[in-house]
Amino acid sequence: MWSRRAPAGVKRLGHATVSITLDTYSHANPALQEEAAALIAGLVFAVKWSDDA
């Protein structure tokens, strides 16, 4: 996942924070959007809804 590799990119690029790196380059990799969508969908749809609530 990108978030695990981002700190290495921060050091190589000389950015002060991971957020600068992600803000600058995340648009260049469409797979990041797909990864994020899949992660959120997994979290949302993994919740078991009960009719008793």
Are 1 and 35 in contact by the 8 Å Cβ rule? The answer is yes
* Residue boundaries of the structural domains of the chain: 2-45
Structure tokens, 44: 């949302």
* CA atoms in the 13 A half-sphere facing the CB of 40: 6
Alpha carbons 25 and 20: distance in angstroms, whole number: 9
pLDDT level of residue 51 (50, 70, 90 thresholds) = low
Q: pLDDT per residue over 37-49, tens digit each? A: 888 888 888 766 5
Q: Extract the runs of DSSP E, i.e. beta strands, from the chain.
A: none
Q: Helix axis angle, 18-25 relative to 2-13, nearest 10°? A: 100
Length of the chain counted residue by residue:
53
Q: pLDDT per residue over 3-33, tens digit each? A: 566 777 788 888 888 888 778 877 777 777 7
